[in-house]
Amino acid sequence: MEQWTRPEWEQTIQQQGKSAFFIYTPLCGTCDVAKKFLGVIEQLLPDLPLGMANINYLEDLAYELKIESVPCLIVSNNGEIEQKIYAFQSVPYLYEILKK
């Protein structure tokens, strides 16, 4: 999963159908587990644009999108934010959401 800047994320959601943006902090244990889940998703859905960013460098985005906590997965479709996921639950759960 690549690190994305805000402009890269904004460009991706405008140019792609479905995409996902993983927001984390480096010292968050739950974020590490979520990142491993997304590594599996990346293998299962290789055509899904999937990026990540440290929320400490995207303070304005966190405020604008009202991100409540990390980890957070922002799911976009056709330029619109569809969903913000905070409870990653399991790989099958994420797969079902992202394969649609």
Domain locations in the chain?
2-99
Domain 2-99 CATH class label? alpha beta
Check pLDDT > 90 for residue 100.
no
26: helix, strand or coil: coil
Residue 52: how many CB atoms within 10 A of its CB?
20
8: helix, strand or coil: helix
Give percent of the chain with pLDDT exceeding 70: 100
Q: What is the model's pLDDT at position 25?
A: 96
pLDDT tens digits, 75-86: 999 989 999 999
**What is the average pLDDT score of the chain?**
95
Check pLDDT > 90 for residue 16.
no
56 vs 60: CA distance, rounded Å: 10
Check pLDDT > 90 for residue 59.
no
Integer Rg of the chain from CA: 12
